[in-house]
Amino acid sequence: MRGLIAAFTYIAAGAAVGCFSAYALIQSSGVEHLQSGTPWISRGLGLAGPWNYHARAHYLIAGRLPPAPGQLTEATAETDDDNQPLTSSCRYRLTATSPLPRWWSLAVAESASANATVQATADSDNVIREADGSLSIVASVSPEPGNWLKTPVARRLTVIYSAVPANNQKFTSPPPFDVKREACR
Amino acid sequence: MMRHLFWLAVALAAAMTAHAAFTLFVPGWLFAREVARMASANGTNTFFILPPEDQAQLFPGLPRQGVTGICLFDVSAANVTFSADLPDGFWVATIYTDKAEAIYSVNHRQSGSNIFNVSLSLAPDLIESLVMATDKERPEIDSGWTVMSPEPRGLAVVWYPITEAGLRAGAAEAVGRSRCGPEKSARPQ
């Protein structure tokens, strides 16, 4: 009996390690930091590279599809500019740092599951610019004046930037937004 | 000692098997389950507009007020034609396999027209390719309007962004004029 239990334990532990390593490999494969000093990462090149199977699996596990290649660019941030994880207990300001593409969108979703019921977006068609032309969006749980992205109540958040690049913009350019933490509860 | 080494080897084999099985089957199964739920009311080879919640699930980075229409196609029995009839303005139509591999994508400018047909068929497998190579009968190279899918199932997706949430109903009706269905003529054997 003890032998059977030991055998089951070895096999179950091996299977668990195998599943965990597969999941970890899928989540980390094909991920590229777009620019040092920014929190933005992309799987765009991963989808076209040797790890494309794993990069696609990342999307499939979340029940979603990757952006249309050559049409849309997508980057995500799971940390702020100071490399601290994004969490709903803090308020963040996303500020445009350079010219924006003709169409862009910022979404905040719960990490990993990208839960549809708590996704909020701001895009080029519905944001309000300041009088001097600058643009900033506050992401927080409670309402803020100006452009506001409602963040879901979650331990970890993901900001998703999508854009249709202009003809002279590269698909691998980092999103032109800073992600600064302002205050935490 | 030898007994422990044996069981460690068994655990390693179990880990490798579980790793491969997870990588090969779990992502596709989870996605297929999600898409089947979205298409449960419409079935395969039918084009329909996703409600905002499902749209946000499929593309969480895109605004909810946009319109996304999908056709869950199955070319295992017959070729399928996706007949797009889209409104003016910016849109993107993309064909994905059920493994999330984008095999064709076009936007309003590249298409040059808001009304077009895309014929979807199953790409020949290795043996069929060899037979065709021997017979000197190669299939048509994928053109803008003919797409061969390496997988029998997949999704044709149209995304149409709009500027105001109030315009969604009208835009959804316009995008919903597109159709998806099996080709009438039987696939040549």
pLDDT of residue A109: 86
Domain count of the fold of chain A: 1
pLDDT of residue A113: 54
A20 within domain boundaries? no
Contact flag B18-A70 (C-beta cutoff 8 Å): no
Q: What are phi and psi of A26, to 5 degrees?
A: -65, -40
Residue A34: name the closest of A73, A84, A67 by CA: A73
Alpha-carbon distances of B80 from B42, B77, B145, rounded to whole Å: 16, 9, 12
Q: Among all residues of chain B, which has the CA nearest to that of A61? A: B27
For an interface test with B, which of A47, A64, A108, A162 has the most B Cβ atoms less than 10 Å from its Cβ? A64
Residue B13: name the closest of A152, A11, A42, A142 by CA: A11
Res A173 pLDDT > 80: no
A32 band by pLDDT with thresholds 50, 70 and 90:
confident
pTM of the predicted model as reported, rounded to 2 decimal places:
0.86
Contact flag B8-A10 (C-beta cutoff 8 Å): yes
* Separation of alpha carbons A161 and A177, rounded Å: 9
Res B133 pLDDT > 70: no
Average per-residue pLDDT for chain A? 87
CA distance B95 to chain A (A): 9
Contact flag A105-B61 (C-beta cutoff 8 Å): yes
Res A115 pLDDT > 60: no
pLDDT tens readout for residues B39-48: 888 889 999 9
Contact flag A160-B60 (C-beta cutoff 8 Å): yes
Could you tell me which residues come within 8 angstroms of residue B140 by beta carbon, excluding any fewer than 6 positions away?
A: B146
CATH of the domain at A96: 2.60.120.600
pLDDT tens readout for residues A58-105: 999 989 999 988 898 899 999 999 999 999 999 999 999 888 888 899
A22 within domain boundaries? no
CA distance B130 to chain A (A): 26
Contact flag A121-B90 (C-beta cutoff 8 Å): no
Contact flag B19-A117 (C-beta cutoff 8 Å): no
For an interface test with B, which of A54, A72, A113, A164 has the most B Cβ atoms less than 10 Å from its Cβ? A72
The ipTM assigned to this model is: 0.86
For an interface test with A, which of B23, B30, B90 has the most A Cβ atoms less than 10 Å from its Cβ? B23
CATH 3.40.50 fits B33-182, yes or no: no
CA distance A147 to chain B (A): 15
A17 within domain boundaries? no
Res A170 pLDDT > 50: yes
Query: What is the SS3 assignment for B175?
Result: helix
A153 within domain boundaries? yes
HEC secondary structure over A137-170: EEEECCCCCCCEEECCCCCCEEEEEEEECCCCCC
H or E element at residue B170: helix B168-175
* Separation of alpha carbons A42 and B61, rounded Å: 13
Residue type, A185: R
Residues from chain A that touch B154, judged by Cβ atoms under 8 A, are: none
Res A185 pLDDT > 60: yes
Could you tell me which residues come within 8 angstroms of residue A131 by beta carbon, excluding any fewer than 6 positions away?
A: none
How wide is the angle at C-alpha A43 spanned by C-alphas A166 and B121, nearest 5°?
Answer: 85
A80 within domain boundaries? yes
Whole domain around residue A107: which residue ranges? 31-184
* Separation of alpha carbons B120 and B79, rounded Å: 6
* Separation of alpha carbons B47 and B177, rounded Å: 9
Res A56 pLDDT > 70: yes
DSSP chain A: -HHHHHHHHHHHHHHHHHHHHHHHHHHHTT-EESSTTS-EEE-HHHHHSTTHHHHHHHHHHTT--PPPTTT-EEEEESB-TTSPBP-TTEEEEEEE-SPPPSEEEEEEEETTT--GGG-EEEETTT----TTS--EEEEESS--SSSEEEPPS-SSEEEEEEEE--TTS-TTSPPSEEEEEEEE-
B25 band by pLDDT with thresholds 50, 70 and 90:
very high
B28 band by pLDDT with thresholds 50, 70 and 90:
very high
CA distance B13 to chain A (A): 7
The domain spans of chain B are 33-182
